[in-house]
């Protein structure tokens, strides 16, 4: 019954939208009812993004209903896409992972964003909101770039320099040298004190469990080996070999400087190892900074840097983050647009940066005086949000200490392949690469992997 009732309503809404588009005079009838925002991350209970929504509700008198999606990104995507394809989602605004924009656009479950994005948005981030067709389909809400976390104190003591390694080869060498020295000394000290030796210090941890994190780490390794982030194929021209070499390098790192458990690690688990003092280096997102800062002293015991460079000096990370888009079957498109504009305006982006998110606008990163002012009351700054870092380590009214490193990383970061079939590509990478990482010998999977990756991206067999 409900569904039948919903159909005429949707048709009516469509008529209304058409009327809005077709008329130049007269005002459209105001939209009724709350704006429905479907979101995965914990936007529903507390935190700065929730505060920004409340502030908008207070300002406009409209209400926003949040539909809380599952914790895992795969499940969020699945529900948003399938419900959109079935045409009965009832959602107005979708908070989507940047990697899904092209697919959602091609599947017509979101609407193009008319009018484009202003020049304040970081250029690398704008790419994530752009579809296969070059059109803008969403507005970047918060972004992210992978960073190299490193134990400053241990490097200083055993490597005589607190500087992080500048390229991946050096990272491996430093990791071997430092962890050997550290573990030897720890074992000796424990023996002298008659205690059990502390847990082994490993060279590095990263996200190698077969999930999206493995795809991210694989792409970064392929790019570090000369891969071109804009290429649409892994088996043509200069791309040949980049994926192959990247994957071989990942396995090399796993077999020499990483614990075997890394093949079961995600962001949280790798962060726990690093924060527990069991790894010298870690590749992770800035959102983990605050949790680590609870256990290790920032800038003294640990610090962050951009990822190590490839031979030509480029340091490239995969861009993470979320975009906001208007659902194709939204019945409140004007309200949805107004909400998205407010959540991504310069002031809101500054609030996001101050509360531990990576902002998508350049202006947010300006130093104190020149930056837009975050209008949220300072009391809210006390509350962290799952998915945001920085809160405890940030000065009360300023951005977190890693801000400039992050900005550098964001400017050099690149989106994952922008394809309507990205998800299948990612599954191929996860399945094949994790088989390879778990294998004992050095069987090269790469030609096969490159072929299957191309097949996945084409949408064909």
Partner 1 sequence: MSEYDARGKVNRALLICVHDYETLTRLPAVEDNAEALRHALTRPGTDLFTADEVVVCRPHRPEDLSTALRTAADEARGLLLVYFSGHGWVGNDGADLQLMVGASDTRQSHTTVSWQDTVLSCLDNARADRVVIVLECCYSGNADSAFHALRKPVSLLMAAQPNRRIFSGEEGAGGTAFTRAVVRILEQGRADRPFVTFDDLAGALRDELADERTPMGEAWEPRAAKQNTLDDVVLSFATPEDRPATPLKIRLRRWSNQHLRRRAKLLIALAAVCALVAAGLVAARVLTPPGPCPPALELRLLTAPEAEPALRRAAFDYEMSPLNTRPLDGEQDLPDGCRRAQITVYSAAKDQIDQGFAAADRWQGEAHGGAPGAPARSTATDPLYRPGPQPDLWIPESTADYEEARRGMPSTGSPATLHDTGPVAYSPLVVGIPAGTQLDGVERVDAPWKDLLTSTDSDRQNLRLLRPSPVLSGTGLLHTLGLYLAGDGAPIGPSGAPDPTRARDAERRLAAPGSQYAGSPELLCSLRQDGGPDQAPERPGNGRSPHSAPLVSEKSLADFNLGHALGGCPALDAPPPLGDRYYAYYPKNVPALDHPLIRVDWAGTADAAPRRAAVARFADWLRDPAGGQRSLTAQGYRGLPEKDGSAPRPDAASPLLNPRADTDPTAPVTRFTAGPDQVAQVLADYNRAQRASRLLILMDTSTSMADGGKLPIVVGAAARALEMVGAHHTYGLWTFPDPAHPGDPAAVRRAVPLGSTDPAPGRAALDRIAKGELVDHGAAMEEALTTAVTEMKKPGEGNSAIVLLIDEDDGGPRRAAGVEQKLTTLLKEAPEVPVLTVVMGRVGCDTFVFQGLARASAGQCVSGGPAAPDLLAGLVASVGTAGTVRR
* Cβ neighbourhood burial of 4 (10 Å; 0-12, 13-18, 19+): exposed
Contact with partner 1 (CB under 8 A) among 7, 14, 189, 300: 7
Helix (H) or strand (E) holding 430: helix 422-438
20 contacts 334 by C-beta, under 8 angstroms: yes
- Plot region of 371 (φ>0 → left; ψ -120 to 50 → alpha; else → beta): beta
378 Cβ contact partners less than 8 Å away, ≥ 6 residues apart? 396, 397
Q: Closer CB to partner 1, residue 6 or residue 412?
A: 6
Q: Which of 179, 215, 344, 424 binds partner 1 (CB under 8 A)?
A: 424
- Four-CA torsion 171, 172, 176, 177, nearest 10 degrees: -40
Q: 361 Cβ partners below 8 Å, 6+ apart?
A: 120, 121, 122, 344, 346, 349, 350
Count of residues that bind partner 1 according to CB under 8 A: 92
User: What residues numbered 41-80 form the site for partner 1, per CB under 8 A?
Assistant: 42, 45-46, 65, 67-72, 74-75, 77-79
Beta strands 302-306 and 93-97 are unpaired
* Binding residues among 159-178 for partner 1 as defined by CB under 8 A: none
From edge to edge, which strands make up the β-sheet containing 139-145? 64-68, 35-39, 93-97, 319-326, 139-145, 358-359
Closest CA to 6 of 60, 113, 107, 83: 83
* Site pattern 190..209 for partner 1 (x: CB under 8 A): ---------x----------
185 or 238: whose CB is closer to partner 1? 238
**DSSP-assigned letter for residue 380:** G
- Nearer Cβ to partner 1 (103/144): 103
Distance of CA 37 to the CA centre of its chain: 20
Query: Residue 426 interacts with partner 1 (CB under 8 A)?
Result: no
Regarding 183 and contact with partner 1 (CB under 8 A), the answer is no
Q: Does 304 bind partner 1 (CB under 8 A)?
A: no
Task: Give least dist CB 295 to partner 1, A.
Answer: 5
With contacts defined by CB under 8 A, name the span among 34-42, 116-124, 146-154, 401-409 that binds partner 1: 34-42
Question: Is 451 one of the binding residues for partner 1 (CB under 8 A)?
Answer: no
Site string for partner 1, 310-349 (x = CB under 8 A): -x--------------------------------------
Residues 104-143 within binding reach of partner 1 (CB under 8 A): 106-107, 132
Residue list 370-409, contact with partner 1 (CB under 8 A)? 382-389, 391-392
Does position 255 interact with partner 1 (CB under 8 A)? The reply is no
Least Cβ distance, residue 231 to partner 1 (angstroms): 12
Closest CA to 249 of 278, 228, 231, 226: 226
In the complex, least distance from residue 350 CB atom to partner 1, rounded to whole angstroms = 21
């Amino acid at each position: 019954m409900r569904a039948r009732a919903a159909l005429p309503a949707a048709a009516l809404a469509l008529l209304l939208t058409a009327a809005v588009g077709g008329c130049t005079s007269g005002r459209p009838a105001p939209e009724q009812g709350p704006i429905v925002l479907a979101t995965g991350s914990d936007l529903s209970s507390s935190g700065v993004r929730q505060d920004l929504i409340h502030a908008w509700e207070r300002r406009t008198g409209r209400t926003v209903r949040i539909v809380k999606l599952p914790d895992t990104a795969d499940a969020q995507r699945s529900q948003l896409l399938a419900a959109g394809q079935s045409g009965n989602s009832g959602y107005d605004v979708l908070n989507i992972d940047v990697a899904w924009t092209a697919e959602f656009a091609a599947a017509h479950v979101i609407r193009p964003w008319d009018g484009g994005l202003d020049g304040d948005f970081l250029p690398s981030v704008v790419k994530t909101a752009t579809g296969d067709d070059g059109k803008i389909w969403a507005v970047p809400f918060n972004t992210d770039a992978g960073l190299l976390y490193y134990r400053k104190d241990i490097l200083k003591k055993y490597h005589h320099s607190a500087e992080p390694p500048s390229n991946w080869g050096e990272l491996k060498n430093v990791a071997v040298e430092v962890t050997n020295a550290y573990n030897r000394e720890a074992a000796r000290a424990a023996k002298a004190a008659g205690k059990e030796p502390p847990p082994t210090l490993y060279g590095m941890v990263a996200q190698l469990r077969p999930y999206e994190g493995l795809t991210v780490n694989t792409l970064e390794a392929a790019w570090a080996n000369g891969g071109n982030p804009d290429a649409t194929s892994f088996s043509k021209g200069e791309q040949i070999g980049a994926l192959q070499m990247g994957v071989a390098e990942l396995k090399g790192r796993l077999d020499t400087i990483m614990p075997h458990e890394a093949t079961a690690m995600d962001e949280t688990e790798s962060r726990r190892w690093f924060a527990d003092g069991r790894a010298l280096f870690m590749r992770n997102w800035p959102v983990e900074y605050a949790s680590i800062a609870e256990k290790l002293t920032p800038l003294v015991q640990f610090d962050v840097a951009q990822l190590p460079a490839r031979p030509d000096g480029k340091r490239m990370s995969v861009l993470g983050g979320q975009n906001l888009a208007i659902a194709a079957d939204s019945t409140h498109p004007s309200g949805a647009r107004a909400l998205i504009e407010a959540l991504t305006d310069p002031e809101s982006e500054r609030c996001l940066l101050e509360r531990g998110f990576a902002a998508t606008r350049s202006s947010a990163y300006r130093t104190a005086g020149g930056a837009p002012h975050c209008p949220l009351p300072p009391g809210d700054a006390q509350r962290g949000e799952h998915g945001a870092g920085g809160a405890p380590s940030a000065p009360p009214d300023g951005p977190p200490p890693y801000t400039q490193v992050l900005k550098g990383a964001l400017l050099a970061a690149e989106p994952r392949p922008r394809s309507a079939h990205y998800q299948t590509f990612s599954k191929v990478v996860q399945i094949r690469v994790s088989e390879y990482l778990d294998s004992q010998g050095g069987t090269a999977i790469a030609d096969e992997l490159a072929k299957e990756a191309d097949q996945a991206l084409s949408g064909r067999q």
